[in-house]
Amino acid sequence: MILTPENDKNLILTLVEFSYAEYGSALEMLRASKMVKSPNLKMGYIDHAIDEYRHTELIYQVIRNQILDNEISDLTRLQFKPLNVILKGYIDKDGFLIEKLRLKNFVEFVYSNEFLAKISFDKLKLRVNDRESLNIISGIMEEEQEHADNSIETLNDIMKDEQKHWGYAKKYYESKYPKSKLKLAFTREKIKNRLRLVYLKNFKFLSNIFDPLINLLILIFGPITSLIRLPKDTKNIIHNNYDSII
Amino acid sequence: MYLGISAFYHESSVALISEEGELLNFQKEEWHSRVKGDKSFPKLSIVKILEDSADKKKQITDVIFYERPMRAWLTVVKDSIKNYGYLNSLSKNYFRNFFNGSMSFYKEISKFKELKACNIKYFDHHLSHSYSALMYSKSSFPKISIVIDGIGDQKTISVFKIKSLSEIELIWGLDYPFSLGLFYSAITDFIGYSVNDGEYKVMALSSYGRPLFKEKFDQILGFDKGNFKFDTSYFAYQYSTEKSYSKKFEQFIGKPRQSIKKLDVQDNDFQFYADIASSAQVVLEEITIKLFKYIHKQSDIKNFIFSGGVSLNSKLVSKLSKLNFIDSLEIPSSPGDSGASIGAAYFLSHKKNIPKKNNLYTGIVNHNKNFIEQKFRKIYDKEDIIEGSVALLNKQNIICTCIGNIETGPRALGNRSFLCDASNEFLVKELNTKVKRRSSFIPTAPVMTKNIANEYFYLDNKSKVLAQNMSTLVEAKQNALKYFKSILHCDHTSRIQISMDETYVGKILISKKANFHILANTSFNISSDPMVYSLEDAIMTIKRTGLKYLVTDFGIFEI
């Protein structure tokens, strides 16, 4: 659900980022399926997760097609490594979205990001040349649109559940949903993604600032580390001091 | 109660152990986050364990981390700075992430109000492995514990003489950066697999190769009469965050494999990389066997426990189990870092003389009955699970299991498995390549009763014990080659599981209605996912694979 730079010159690297974004989405949806109680909602999120997993695989198919047309020196960095979904920040281990947001806000988030993803894939399509890859991306786009549409239906279902379980008033729903709130959520997500984009674009600039600071730290503390002697173990090793971090 | 935690290097995990030394609950973070090899702080696992133990009267009094964070950090940084200058990429990475790795353990634990009053301890990494093995060990004292992994605190190999659970002496050790485990990881990296994940693929690949590069590897590392030889100039893990092998290694051995495609038998470069894998495997086996012999000669002890990531290499274990001077060789079901949380917590317990349990299925899972019963058609009731499973297997179906607790270790032992009749070669091939989406050279393991295992495989007493948690390879007899080719590797070995009658898979195999002797058994997941944990994961995975039948505690369902 996190979008990547729209104007990235390196198409393949952009596609790799897309695949992690889709993978992150799959994990969020799967987590959501475990947190909701309604069997229908559970199933809806499981099906959504399956689509996102498939998108990850399909994007890799596009990547493989693109590699045939490009000379890439270090292919290992393009390998799909699940751990990168955490390292690259596509999921936040401090809490999945379903745990951080209320269910209603979570669905708003899904709606907005599926719609934004569709827009990004639209732009990506312009930069892919081969027919097979174009077909794959078109297929993904249709499903993203479907997920956005389903989110509105899901919102209706949730409101029914919320009325039942948490006592939300029907009047509240009818006065606030679906148009105005969704539009607001969409704008909010769009701004967030723009900010993310600004951050990514300036990442190199930020590195230029922080790298010398890290270097300075190493030059100060590096010599100190070489002076530290690690404590020796006792003969019966279980009598060592295990309150200490060293 | 004591909470052991392993995190920040391999799969993170949490273990809850009673004062008497019984493993009450074990959770791996990847089961919850669904990110394979998740090594981040196991927040979700701790939450799960605290939820499960909320009604217990006894409180958690101590939390113990599986290593000493400052020692582990300093060991790498000191070596890196001393030999490769202050500003190499590894040391920069270590400084940049000083507060994100193991050093953040205290900060992360402090976020749990339930654990605020607990004593915090930091155990030795290799002792955590050893205690995890000791928890399962049934052999008599004294015994030798050998731990081999990439790196732990300071050592990469530790040999402990264990006179009793409270008298342990380090009798031999190898300090970082010299590392047999990191040598094998460098080979994994060279062949284009992810370090800490693809090592088992290198082991499988090695059976297809010839050890043509062994002489070259002998120039890089070796072991003789207690002395370890290791030329670090061929490696880059000591200063680089990108690669494990150096330019010198490339010049010496050849071009590393760089592809995002799976390596397969038909590929032009398959044999070259298989030969490299074979050579690395032979060197690993030769050095480890020499180490075991040397230690036995020095100590005259015949009971061994073996742990650390390298002990997951079942091909190596099969060679060790054939050594005549070893009376007993024991390997815990989770010998890698994720199992080290168990060992750390077990160290704190009073270790009363409770009966040794196998503890093969300790990951507690609470399944949602309503969901599956409302959404899917039940074809067999819970009382008929065994009969139903046998009927489906007899009809040549692949069945998926998500029953009871999840397996403690990385190998599926029936509770989270894809199962099918192993005599059906076509079905097993489908399962391996289409359902699991593995490279065709990676074999599928079988499960069978002890009697059947004796009929089709060459077994000795040591391998019978090791095969309970699939820790070793055994050689096939002629009749297995005839009827069960599908579960044999190209070298006619197999990583068999000998079932226990009281388990789900054991009950299926002893059923009189079963028309099969051996089942192909592989973990219930798709290749880049962690093992299925909950019913939601199970349904999602079944739908992704196109399979149909899910065995649960509530009955068998058609998905």
The pLDDT, as a whole number, for residue A155 is 54
- The answer on pLDDT for A171 being more than 70 is no
C-alpha A107/C-alpha A29 separation (Å) is: 10
Beta carbons of A98 and B52 less than 8 angstroms apart = no
Task: Locate all alpha helices (DSSP H) within B115-163, ordered by sequence.
Answer: 125-136
**Highest-scoring range by mean pLDDT, A72-86, A93-107, A168-182, B114-128:** B114-128
For B195, nearest residue in chain A (alpha carbons): A81
From residue B170, alpha-carbon distances to B151, B160, B162, B175, B251 in Å are: 16, 4, 9, 13, 38
Amino acid letter, B243: K
Q: Which residues of B touch A30 (CB under 8 A)?
A: 34, 536-537, 540
**Mind telling me how many Å the CA of A99 is from chain B's nearest CA?**
11
The pLDDT, as a whole number, for residue A34 is 94
- The answer on pLDDT for B401 being more than 60 is yes
Mean pLDDT lowest for which of A3-12, B38-47, B387-396? A3-12
**Do A78 and B87 lie within an 8 Å CB cutoff?**
no
* Strands in B93-238 per DSSP E: 119-122, 143-152, 155-164, 167-175, 221-224, 227-230
R_g (Cα) of chain A, nearest Å: 23
Could you give the percent of chain B with pLDDT greater than 90? 86
Task: Locate all alpha helices (DSSP H) within B221-365, ordered by sequence.
Answer: 247-253, 270-299, 314-321, 337-348
Domains within chain A, CATH numbers bracketed: 11-207 (1.20.1260.10)
The pLDDT, as a whole number, for residue A173 is 39
A93, A235, A244: which to substitute to probe chain B, counting the most B Cβ within 10 Å?
Answer: A93
Confidence of residue A152 (pLDDT cuts 50, 70, 90): low
The pLDDT, as a whole number, for residue A182 is 60
The pLDDT, as a whole number, for residue A190 is 72
Rounded to an integer, the average pLDDT of B61-68 is 96
Specify the 3-state DSSP secondary structure of B178: coil
Specify the 3-state DSSP secondary structure of B447: strand
C-alpha B45/C-alpha B31 separation (Å) is: 8
Tokens 């339930």, residue located: B114
**Do A79 and B168 lie within an 8 Å CB cutoff?**
no
Tell me the average pLDDT of chain B: 94
Select from A49, A79, A226 the Cβ nearest to the Cβ of B81: A226
- The answer on pLDDT for A179 being more than 60 is no
C-alpha B351/C-alpha B372 separation (Å) is: 41
**Mind telling me how many Å the CA of A179 is from chain B's nearest CA?**
31
The pLDDT, as a whole number, for residue A17 is 85
Tokens 């279902």, residue located: A157
Beta carbons of B466 and B331 less than 8 angstroms apart = yes
Specify the 3-state DSSP secondary structure of B314: helix
pLDDT tens string B277-299:
999 999 999 999 999 999 999 99
**Do B43 and A82 lie within an 8 Å CB cutoff?**
no
A93, A97, A245: which to substitute to probe chain B, counting the most B Cβ within 10 Å?
Answer: A245
The pLDDT, as a whole number, for residue A231 is 87
The pLDDT, as a whole number, for residue B332 is 94
Rounded to an integer, the average pLDDT of B387-412 is 96
From residue B146, alpha-carbon distances to B131, B233, B304, B461 in Å are: 11, 27, 7, 20
The pLDDT, as a whole number, for residue A135 is 79
Higher confidence at residue B473 or residue A244?
B473
Q: Which of B233, B268, B238, B277 is nearest to B251 (CA)?
A: B233
**Do B35 and A86 lie within an 8 Å CB cutoff?**
yes
What tokens does B54 get? 């909320």
- The answer on pLDDT for A149 being more than 80 is no
Domains within chain B, CATH numbers bracketed: 2-130+339-348 (3.30.420.40), 140-326 (3.30.420.40), 369-558 (3.90.870.20)
Could you give the percent of chain B with pLDDT greater than 70? 98
- The answer on pLDDT for A3 being more than 50 is no
- Identify any residues that bridge with B161 across adjacent strands, giving them in sequence order: B144, B169
pLDDT tens string A105-118:
777 777 777 777 77
The pLDDT, as a whole number, for residue B57 is 57
| Phi/psi of residue B78, nearest 5 degrees | -60, -45
From residue B339, alpha-carbon distances to A238, B4, B179, B305, B412 in Å are: 19, 10, 21, 14, 15
The pLDDT, as a whole number, for residue A157 is 58
Q: Which residues of A touch B33 (CB under 8 A)?
A: 27, 86, 91, 93
The pLDDT, as a whole number, for residue A175 is 47
The pLDDT, as a whole number, for residue A159 is 47
pTM of the entire predicted model: 0.90
**Mind telling me how many Å the CA of A149 is from chain B's nearest CA?**
22
Q: Which of A45, A32, A156, A23 is nearest to A97 (CA)?
A: A32
Contacts of B158 (CB under 8 A, 6+ apart): B126, B127, B130, B145, B146, B147, B152, B170, B172, B173, B174
**Do A225 and B86 lie within an 8 Å CB cutoff?**
no
pLDDT tens string B318-364:
999 999 999 999 999 999 999 999 999 999 997 766 666 667 888 88
- The answer on pLDDT for B187 being more than 90 is yes
Specify the 3-state DSSP secondary structure of B192: coil
Beta carbons of B202 and B281 less than 8 angstroms apart = yes
The pLDDT, as a whole number, for residue B348 is 93
**Mind telling me how many Å the CA of B97 is from chain A's nearest CA?**
10
Task: Locate all alpha helices (DSSP H) within B376-415, ordered by sequence.
Answer: 385-394
| B329-367 as b/e: b if 16+ CB within 10 A | bbbbbbbbbbbbbbbbbbbbbebeeeeeeebbbbbbbeb
Q: What is the 3-state secondary structure (H, E, C) of B22-66?
A: CEEEEEEHHHHHCCCCCCCCCHHHHHHHHHHCCCCCCCCCEEEEC
C-alpha B385/C-alpha B380 separation (Å) is: 6
Neighbours of B83 (CB within 10 A): 12
For B104, nearest residue in chain A (alpha carbons): A245
Crossing angle (nearest 10°) for helices A39-69 and B535-545? 50
C-alpha B270/C-alpha A79 separation (Å) is: 18
Rounded to an integer, the average pLDDT of A173-178 is 47
Q: Which residues of B touch A64 (CB under 8 A)?
A: 260-261
Rounded to an integer, the average pLDDT of B111-120 is 91
From residue B88, alpha-carbon distances to A122, B79, B95, B102, B547 in Å are: 42, 11, 11, 21, 50
pLDDT tens string B191-241:
999 898 899 999 999 999 999 999 999 999 999 999 999 999 999 999 999
- The answer on pLDDT for B21 being more than 60 is yes
**Do A43 and B375 lie within an 8 Å CB cutoff?**
yes
For A235, nearest residue in chain B (alpha carbons): B169
Confidence of residue A185 (pLDDT cuts 50, 70, 90): low
- The answer on pLDDT for A164 being more than 80 is no
C-alpha A147/C-alpha A13 separation (Å) is: 25
What tokens does B442 get? 């990676």
The pLDDT, as a whole number, for residue B2 is 95
Phi-psi region of B115 (alpha: psi -120 to 50; beta: other; left: phi over 0): alpha
C-alpha B376/C-alpha B539 separation (Å) is: 10
Rounded to an integer, the average pLDDT of B521-525 is 96
**Do A218 and B544 lie within an 8 Å CB cutoff?**
no
pLDDT tens string B407-455:
999 999 999 999 999 999 999 999 998 899 888 899 999 999 999 999 9
C-alpha B251/C-alpha A183 separation (Å) is: 59
The pLDDT, as a whole number, for residue A104 is 74
Task: Locate all alpha helices (DSSP H) within B305-423, ordered by sequence.
Answer: 314-321, 337-348, 369-375, 385-394
Contacts of B234 (CB under 8 A, 6+ apart): B220, B245, B246, B248, B249, B252
**Highest-scoring range by mean pLDDT, A17-31, A190-204, B166-180:** B166-180
- The answer on pLDDT for A6 being more than 70 is no
Task: Locate all alpha helices (DSSP H) within B445-496, ordered by sequence.
Answer: 450-456, 461-466, 478-483
Calculated CA dihedral for residues B469, B323, B142, B124, nearest 10 degrees: -60
Q: What one-character DSSP code corresponds to residue A234? A: P
pLDDT tens string B76-89:
999 999 999 999 99
B30, B31, B35, B168: which to substitute to probe chain A, counting the most A Cβ within 10 Å?
Answer: B35
Indicate if the alpha-carbon torsion angle B7, B11, B14, B15 is positive or negative. negative
The pLDDT, as a whole number, for residue A77 is 75
Tokens 């040391």, residue located: B91
